Amino acid sequence: MANFKNEKTTSSPLSLNAIFKGLLAALIITVLGSALLGIIYYVTSIGETTLPLTSSILYYISIFAGSVLAARWAGCKGLVHGIGVALLFMLLSWLIGHFLLHTSLTAGVSLQKAVISCLAGAVGGVLGVGFSR
Residue 10 domain-assigned (yes or no): no
Backbone angles phi and psi of 46, in degrees to 5? -65, 130
Residue 33 domain-assigned (yes or no): yes
Mean pLDDT of 100-106: 80
Residue 11 domain-assigned (yes or no): no
Q: What domain count does the chain have?
A: 1
Residue 1 domain-assigned (yes or no): no
**CA neighbor of 87 nearest in space, from 4, 26, 2:** 26
**pLDDT, tens only, 36-57:** 999 999 999 888 899 999 999 9
Residue 83 domain-assigned (yes or no): yes
Confidence of residue 9 (pLDDT cuts 50, 70, 90): very low
Amino acid of residue 12? S
**pLDDT, tens only, 73-100:** 888 888 999 999 999 999 999 888 888 8
| pLDDT reported for residue 7 | 44
Residue 12 domain-assigned (yes or no): no
Domain of 108, in residue numbers: 17-132
Residue 7 domain-assigned (yes or no): no
**CA neighbor of 71 nearest in space, from 7, 12, 129, 27:** 129
Mean pLDDT of 104-133: 88
| Contacts within 8 Å (CB) and 24+ apart, 91-95 | 92/23, 92/27, 93/59
